[in-house]
Structure 1
Amino acid sequence: MDIEVLGTLAVKENGVSITPTAPKSRQVLALLALHADQVVPVSALMEELWADRPPRSARTTLQTYVLQLRELITAALPEPAPGEEPVSAKDILMTCPGGYRLNTRGGTSDVREFERLAGLGYRAMDAGDHPGAARLLREALALWSRAPFADVQAGAQLEMEAKRLEESRLCALDQRIEADLRLGRHRELLAELTVLVNRYRTHESLCGQFMLALQRSGRRSEALDAFRKLRDTLVRELGLEPSAALRQLQRAILLAGSEKASGAAEPAPV
């Protein structure tokens, strides 16, 4: 089974789509696919479908959605070869004590691959292998096409998981940009960072990276302006001042302008 959730939902068995069109069935499959090869409790599935107001027939209705998914799986399964043990839909979408388990049988999952590549990228970063870190994290981020479960009507469980995945993506993005900065790719990053700081207007790390890329590109006044914009947004929307690290970067950029002729070191990344 091959699973994609980092964008639109796509689940295939034997190369054949088993993704249903009905909204509730899609929710069930999305949650099972995200936690593939793990038991998803009935309580979590019910919360996803009906929040804290399940109907009296909730368990029966959930079983109906599971049966619908098994019908799609059955249609996708190949005929067993002579002498081969046949595989049934119940072997793939398994009923377990307390819940259900989607058995990938060694198939692929874009979430698992993202987490694997990102983990390797973080370790490369810690080891000082910035080219390797940039490459691995770029590969991890390339697995994303849109927001998680972009075409699924998400309930409480999927909304929570989408936020978790988005935070993981931002962490990988932050580290990939950091690796690129350490490789001297500041000019290449300016267009991307311009978009990111406007999309994530209170994200201090991205702002710090933008300030550094601007300063290294000889655009000191724009770097200081980026700090002012972030500070105004933080104060207005959250009642907070920028972090000490970001304020220190601002001061370093100010000093770098006045000490440029003396050969002073440039500001360090946040």
Structure 2
Amino acid sequence: MYRHSTPSATVSAQPPPLSLTLIGPFTARVGGQVMDLSQLAGRKARTLLKLLAAERGRILSADRIAELLWGEEMPRDTAGSVATLVSRLRALLGAPYIERFAGGYRLAEAPLVHLDFDDVAYLTDDAERLVYAGDVRLATIRAAQAFQLAGVGRALEDEPPAPWITGLEEQRRLLWQQAGRILSVAALRSEQPGRAVGALEYLTAAEPWNESLHRLLILVCWALGEIPRAISVYLRLRDRLTEELGVEPSVRTRMLYTALLREDVGQMRDAIGSETQSVVSAFPSAGVD
């Protein structure tokens, strides 16, 4: 009879994951439990955790950390001051989440540490994959989830502006815009135009001279039966282009507007196909096998 052998040594349990929310108000959870960061007795320890999260994957030296945290008012013992902050963090959260190296400190990688940016990136990539696979209904759901998560606020909005936050905010903005583009395509192709309105309103406000995005918004309004709103989108774009850039809308945009005024259903439906395909062709993975 087969008998299980008794292990000679006890296998240490894997610590629960540390989940950090960087978009909007900052929060930290260990194993699903929200951590009270006020116990850290000082703002700099909390800021250090945010800094390590923003620079995840990189080893930050004590000098670099001190420079970012203290600025011109550097402590005399930079290594000791940073080590004290790290010790406070490890005491509250657990030692495994912040790794020590001869050259500095680094936040542990996934799956031990999870960021909300990971969720947005995964949902966006999955939505893009689903668009290519033709499952536009599920792509709409995934893209809407990504767009909502990325749009709850600015990156680390409870921190004062700083150069190291600017890069993180740019990542969030790009993810938000990409999720919005995918959502627009998937919603139009799955005949759920109402789900794309909010995303396209944001995208056209962020890129007021982007004719492709405005054409998509015109098509969404048309698909919803909101013809006056679609006309207003075109006129707003035309006025911006002529007044601020001194140019007229492109032939393609003017042709779409003409089809809208003529109530040419066939041409409008053809435009949905061509405009969504143009956006898909510009996806980061377009042309990648």
Question: TM-score, normalized by length of structure 2?
Answer: 0.70
Name 2:92's counterpart in structure 1.
72
- Residue correspondence of structure 1 range 162-241 to structure 2 within 5 A: 162-187=169-194, 189-190=196-197, 192=198, 195-196=201-202, 199-200=205-206, 202=208, 204=210, 205-234=212-241, 239=245, 241=247
Distance in 2 (alpha carbons) for counterparts of 1:162 and 1:228: 32
SS at match of 1:143: helix
Q: Name the structure 2 match of 1:253.
A: 257
Residues 201, 217 of structure 2: 8 Å contact kept:
no
Q: Distance in 1 between matches of 2:234 and 2:103?
A: 51
Q: Spell out, residue by residue over 1:208-254, the C-alpha distance to the aligned partner (whole angstroms, 9 max, x if none).
A: 322111223344453233123234335655x375775xx51332231
User: What percent of counterpart residues are identical?
Assistant: 19
- The AA in structure 2 aligned to 1:139 is Q
User: Aligned to 2:149, what secondary structure does the other structure show?
Assistant: coil
Partner of residue 13, structure 1: 30
Q: Supply the distance in 1 between the matched residues of 2:216 and 2:229 (Cα, whole angstroms).
A: 13
Following superposition, the deviation at residue 257 of structure 1 comes to 3.2
Which of 111, 133, 136 is the aligned partner of 1:130? 136
Relative contact order, higher structure (CA 8 A, sep 6+): 1
Q: Distance in 1 between matches of 2:142 and 2:260?
A: 33
Query: Take 1:152 and 1:4, find their aligned partners in 2: how far apart are those partners?
Result: 13
Report the alpha carbon displacement of residue 197 of structure 1 after superposing the two structures with TM: 5.8
Paired position in structure 2 for 1:62: 82
* TM-superposed deviation, 1:193: 5.3
1:4 aligns to 2:10 (yes or no): no
1:162 counterpart letter in structure 2: E
Structure 2 CA distance for aligned equivalents of residues 185 and 56 of structure 1:
57
Structure 1: tracts of 5 or more residues without a match: 78-88
Q: Deviation of residue 122 (structure 1)?
A: 0.9
Matched-pair contact (CA < 8 Å) for 1:26–1:152: no
Pairs aligned (count): 248
Contact 2:215 2:256 in 1 (8 A): no
After TM superposition, give the deviation of residue 28 of structure 1 in Å: 1.7
State how far apart, in whole Å, the 2-side matches of 1:171 and 1:193 are.
10
Matched, 1:98 2:103: yes
1:160 to 2:167 alignment: yes
- Structure 2 runs not aligned, ≥5 long: 1-17, 279-289
Match of 1:28 in 2: 48
